[in-house]
Structure 1
Amino acid sequence: MSTIVITGGSSGIGAAAARELARRGHDLIVVGRDAGRTRSVAAECGGTALLADFSRLDEVRGLADELARLPRIDVLANNAGGLMHRRELTVDGFERTLQLNHLAPYLLTRLLQPRLTASGARVLHTASVANLVAWRRFETLDWSDRRWGGGWRAYGTSKLVTILFARELARRTGLESYSFHPGYVRTSFGAESPILRRFTNLVESAQISPESGAAPLVQLATADEVPGENGGYFSQLQPEGRAQRRAKDPELAARIWARSAELLHLPVD
């Protein structure tokens, strides 16, 4: 039985993955922002509920402290995230999309790195085919000079950063680290975004259930051997998912890692 931590586990593919992994006999730590939903999913799974709002980095640090007390962590699934249709800053001073989708999971992973290394853990990252619409230049991770456009390109950029983070984590630490696109999942994700609602209507016939969207997370969490290179990006269950060429740029991945560390006052190594 493995101990599996899923952030964003209170709804959508996170909740669906937690239920399936629990059915297979694994020990689940369900992390969410909403107390009622998170505790409900954890109760269904016979697991543990932990609360953290990723728009507050102090709560991410508190979550890391709680998780570091676990005897071991076999899988950390960085699944929490969001798309903001209006540009706004968190209490930490970062753009919210960037913090939810990258800085918070980067911080959590870095703080847990000793525990993950000791356990020989596998780290999973929910990315997206939306990486294809990422901004051309974004290395500073400061998007204040960009036209917001409903937040879609900021979201896509954060998901390209997610893919790069997964690759660089594998390179720097030797941990197994994989990112994946879950598919066009029928959930309430991005419900406040008019652009995403219009896009959802266009691809309605291609939408899949949260359970189908959770399949790559479940597969990557439980496979004895992952069919692909360490650090790789999957499109659902297929390795070498559709991504920009920059998603394999090692220099860009290293710069993003270093800049993230600088913003969060962490050592680069």
Structure 2
Amino acid sequence: MTPVAVITGASSGIGANAAARIADAGFEVAVVGRNPERTKAVASSVGGTAFLADYDSLDEVRGLAASLADTYERIDVLANNAGGLLHHRGLSKDGFERTIQHNHLAPFLLTNLLLPRLTGGRVIGTASIANTFGSFRLDDLQWQKRPWLGGWRAYGTSKIATILFAEELARRAPVESYSFHPGYVATSFGAESALVKLGNRVTNGRIAITAEEGATPLVTLATVDTVGAANGTYFDGLKPNGRVNRVIRRPGVAAALWEESARLVGLSSS
């Protein structure tokens, strides 16, 4: 039976590159994206199926989960790769700060809704070394009580959430769960950020790695038979146990985030 991989944020960048390489490894690939033309083009190029969803709407995430569950009896890999850095603070259609919704709440909801199809499978979250400068506060996930500062600390905080979610999912569900930092990739990431623009200008783009290099940890974690690290591990590239914000090692934080996330998206905490 052909294994199935669902890759979100797969219409460009490392998601599109990973989709092609995972398809070459023998998987049937569900290509999930927001842009209809790009998503369908990638799906066509890899022999996969396109699914559309805008993470600004949790109803669209619920619809995506329903469509995937209707299409596949089993999902072997779910790569939660969608998300990004938002330069300006704003609210989603659901009234949540968009960074935490796009990067954490939406994949949290999608994963939980797909768990009946994922039993024995593998869930992979695209995190970031930016987690180290995040400022995690469970009472201010919406970033209402602190200055925005171009969105960088909110982005780092959302990646703390990605790592914590992977760890707690490994404890709660019958799946393998990992997160990884892909490196600073030369894609459209942070395109509106003055800091990113300055860095690219000063270095002539030399600090960035290619989308193929950035996708390699995702492809490896999705396709190897045995990961060779503890369930819940965060990887820096392909190196296990990457550097993390100290809040991640605080007892009870991952469970507390799970409970709060479930409450916000309307799921049972169990």
Normalised by the length of structure 2, the TM-score is 0.95
Q: CA offsets, 1:235-269, max 9 Å, x none?
A: 01110112112223340000000000111111000
Backbone CA RMSD of aligned residues: 1.3
Q: Contact between 1:152 and 1:195, CA under 8 Å: does it hold in 2? A: no
Aligned residue runs from structure 1 range 1-269, under 5 A: 1-69=2-70, 70-117=72-119, 120-201=120-201, 204-269=205-270
Supply the distance in 2 between the matched residues of 1:9 and 1:250 (Cα, whole angstroms). Answer: 34
Supply the distance in 1 between the matched residues of 2:3 and 2:104 (Cα, whole angstroms). Answer: 25
- One-letter amino acid of the counterpart of residue 261, structure 1: A
Supply the distance in 1 between the matched residues of 2:201 and 2:174 (Cα, whole angstroms). Answer: 41
Task: Give the secondary structure class of the aligned counterpart of 2:252.
Answer: helix
Deviates more, 1:189-198 or 1:141-150: 189-198
Q: Contact between 1:102 and 1:158, CA under 8 Å: does it hold in 2? A: yes
Structure 2, unmatched stretches of 5+, are: none
Q: Percent identity?
A: 58
Structure 1 residue 201: Cα displacement: 4.2
Task: Give the secondary structure class of the aligned counterpart of 1:115.
Answer: helix
Q: CA offsets, 1:137-190, max 9 Å, x none?
A: 345423111100000000000001100000000011131000000011110111
Supply the distance in 1 between the matched residues of 2:172 and 2:139 (Cα, whole angstroms). Answer: 19
Q: Contact between 1:139 and 1:255, CA under 8 Å: does it hold in 2? A: no
Structure 1 residue 205: Cα displacement: 2.4
Supply the distance in 1 between the matched residues of 2:221 and 2:131 (Cα, whole angstroms). Answer: 20
Structure 1 residue 48: Cα displacement: 0.2
In the alignment of these two chains, the number of paired residues is 267
Structure 1 residue 111: Cα displacement: 0.8
Shift in CA distance, 200/242, structure 1 to aligned 2, threshold 3 Å = farther
> Structure 1 residue runs of 4+, over 6 Å off?
none
- One-letter amino acid of the counterpart of residue 95, structure 1: E
- One-letter amino acid of the counterpart of residue 222, structure 2: A
- One-letter amino acid of the counterpart of residue 159, structure 2: K
Task: Give the secondary structure class of the aligned counterpart of 2:100.
Answer: helix
Supply the distance in 2 between the matched residues of 1:122 and 1:192 (Cα, whole angstroms). Answer: 33
Normalised by the length of structure 1, the TM-score is 0.96
